[in-house]
Amino acid sequence: MNRVFTLPNIVSFIRIGLVPVFLWLLLGSDDVAAAGWLLGFIGATDWIDGYLARRLNQVSELGKILDPVADRLAVVSALIGGLIAGVLPAWFAVALLVREVLVALGALYVAARTQAKIEVRRIGKLATLLVYAAVAWYFVGDGADFDPLIWAAWIAGLPGLLLYYVAAGLYVGDVRRALAAAE
């Protein structure tokens, strides 16, 4: 299916459109907790676009691009915003950002060389869920001075970071196979 305006794509567009609202809440109005809640909503709705696409038989090439773009925009915005606002531990945010950049560069390289797209892996989705939760909890916990959420952020964040790098390693194998198949 090559339609643009499908229900799943609209959900992805909304998620992308909420990223500037998140940044405004965080950096413009200095409402760290509200920014964290919105980030949590963006992350929690991550599965909806894919579920709708499969359930309604509206899987599209655009949707296969929009969903990971929405995830990456939200995560990168949250990490950079969290560093600027001083909400996230710097080493944690930088480690996540480095992984994001490496995976994005690899995906762009494969797309440019082979016209292929690296498929999202379940472990990558799980890692993204844990990262979304951890980062959102850092924001809400910091903005609302609710320490148990900071602990929850650590509990989700450390395994999320580890799984993020495991998934990146698997994506390296996917990139190698895509490049070999294109030769």
Q: What is the pLDDT of residues 14-24, one digit of tens each?
A: 999 999 999 99
Contact between residue 79 and residue 96 where contact means Cβ atoms under 8 Å apart: yes
Looking at residue 89, what is its pLDDT? 95
Looking at residue 54, what is its pLDDT? 87
pTM of the shown model: 0.88
- CA distance linking residue 162 with residue 44, whole number of Å: 20
| pLDDT band at residue 38 using 50, 70 and 90 as cut-offs | very high
Q: Give kind and range of the element (H or E) at residue 62.
A: helix 61-85
Cβ burial of 144 (10 Å; 0-12, 13-18, 19+) is middle
Q: Give kind and range of the element (H or E) at residue 12.
A: helix 7-23
Q: What is the pLDDT of residues 84-127, one digit of tens each?
A: 999 999 999 999 999 989 888 888 888 888 877 777 789 988 99
Mean pLDDT of 126-153: 90
Looking at residue 1, what is its pLDDT? 59
Is residue 163 scored above 70 in pLDDT? Answer: yes
Distant-in-sequence, close-in-space partners of 133: CB < 8 Å, separation ≥ 6 = 40, 43, 152, 153, 156, 160
Looking at residue 36, what is its pLDDT? 95
Please give the C-alpha separations between residue 27 and each of 23, 77, 115, 157, in angstroms, as whole numbers: 6, 11, 37, 23
Looking at residue 32, what is its pLDDT? 94
- CA distance linking residue 129 with residue 157, whole number of Å: 10
Token representation of residue 149:
């959420």
Q: What is the pLDDT of residues 136-146, one digit of tens each?
A: 999 999 888 77
| pLDDT band at residue 162 using 50, 70 and 90 as cut-offs | very high
Cα angle at 61 between 55 and 66, to 5 degrees?
A: 85
Q: What is the pLDDT of residues 61-77, one digit of tens each?
A: 888 888 888 988 999 99
Looking at residue 76, what is its pLDDT? 93
Token representation of residue 180:
């070999």
Percent of the chain with pLDDT over 70: 99
| pLDDT band at residue 78 using 50, 70 and 90 as cut-offs | very high
